[in-house]
């Protein structure tokens, strides 16, 4: 059976390895990025590098959007040339972290053009993207998810979580858990370091225990080694937590821990120029609080 043709829009830290995995799985792929040089290395993987989003999506079966945020996707989606080239019956999959309401607005807009839509944000960072081990939370119609599942499985582990917007809502919950856990791990690593224990040995001792997590093992190591080369950007963590708090407010909820951690990430971005660091750099904000940097 012929594999569907795919266009992937946005080949940044996450989009590029996701595109590479689609190529390795044998999907005919076109890629586009505003900065073309970020997309060009994918030509060696077999992807067709396009000069415009409209060129990339023209006539393809599936469009995957992995751009910076909802407004960026909306602006690209509104381009007349792009809309004219979309294939009726095609599927648009929003895989970036956008607001649930933005995902639902995308779906409604594309439906006018005869397209289907899924919102399928991911978690797992660049390591998950590179290893095709992303957690993929998918909102939309179950029948459409079943059709897209083989494609999504080339990039990770997709799970259908509910109707349109549910994938993005799940990602917001994920980001709240991630941010709060980073804060907890930072406090633990600093306590170990200042108390004289070996943080690496303690992380090893905790493997498989109730406190173990990917964040403890990966970001705990980053913190103690001072390695904040970005996998997940701090400025995107703030964006996601802003979205969490906005969604909570719309539901009449107060999320105090998420709010407090977001203020700390915002301080890291604005006062410490850490927006382009990995989000594990919250460790530096903690050290500053304690007069250690």
Q: What angle do CA 226, 227, 232 make, to 5 degrees?
A: 130
Compute the CA torsion angle 281, 286, 290, 293 (nearest 10 deg).
10
Annotation says 112 is catalytic: no
CB atoms within 10 A of CB 245: 18
Q: What is the enclosing helix (H) or strand (E) of 156?
A: strand 156-162
Q: What is the enclosing helix (H) or strand (E) of 116?
A: strand 116-119
The pair of three-digit structure tokens given for residue 119, joined into one six-digit string? 């919102």
Instruction: Answer yes or no: are the C-beta atoms of 61 and 91 closer than 8 Å.
Output: yes
Mutual orientation of helices 166-195 and 100-111 as an angle, nearest 10°?
A: 150
Which one of the listed residues 3, 112, 171, 194 is annotated catalytic?
171
Instruction: Answer yes or no: are the C-beta atoms of 140 and 119 closer than 8 Å.
Output: yes
List, in order, residues 6 or more apart from 173 with CB less than 8 Å away: 244
Residues labelled as active-site residues: 171
């Amino acid at each position: 059976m012929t594999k569907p043709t795919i266009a992937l829009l946005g080949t940044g830290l996450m989009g590029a390895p996701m595109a590479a995995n689609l190529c390795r799985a044998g999907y005919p792929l076109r890629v586009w990025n505003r900065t073309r040089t970020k997309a060009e290395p994918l030509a060696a993987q077999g992807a067709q590098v396009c000069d415009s989003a409209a060129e990339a999506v023209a006539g393809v079966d599936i469009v995957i959007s992995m751009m910076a945020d909802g407004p960026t996707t909306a602006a690209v989606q509104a381009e007349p040339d792009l809309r004219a080239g979309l294939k009726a019956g095609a599927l648009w999959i929003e895989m970036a972290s956008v607001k649930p309401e933005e995902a639902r607005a995308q779906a409604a807009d594309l439906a006018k053009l005869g397209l289907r839509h899924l919102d399928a944000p991911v978690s797992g960072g660049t390591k998950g993207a590179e290893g095709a081990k992303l957690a993929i939370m998918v909102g939309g119609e179950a029948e459409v998810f079943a059709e897209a599942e083989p494609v999504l499985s080339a990039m990770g582990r997709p799970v259908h979580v509910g109707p349109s917007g549910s994938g993005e809502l799940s990602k917001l919950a994920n980001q709240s858990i991630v941010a709060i856990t980073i804060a907890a791990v930072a406090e633990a690593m600093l306590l170990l370091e200042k108390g004289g224990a070996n943080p690496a040995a303690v992380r090893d001792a905790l493997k498989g225990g109730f406190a173990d997590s990917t964040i403890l093992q990966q970001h705990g190591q980053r913190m103690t080694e001072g390695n904040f080369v970005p996998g997940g950007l701090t400025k995107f963590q703030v964006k996601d937590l802003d979205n969490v708090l906005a969604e909570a407010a719309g539901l009449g909820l107060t999320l105090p821990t998420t709010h407090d951690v977001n203020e700390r990430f915002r301080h890291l971005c604005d006062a410490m120029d850490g927006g382009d660091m990995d989000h594990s750099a919250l460790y530096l904000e903690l050290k500053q609080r304690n007069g250690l940097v």
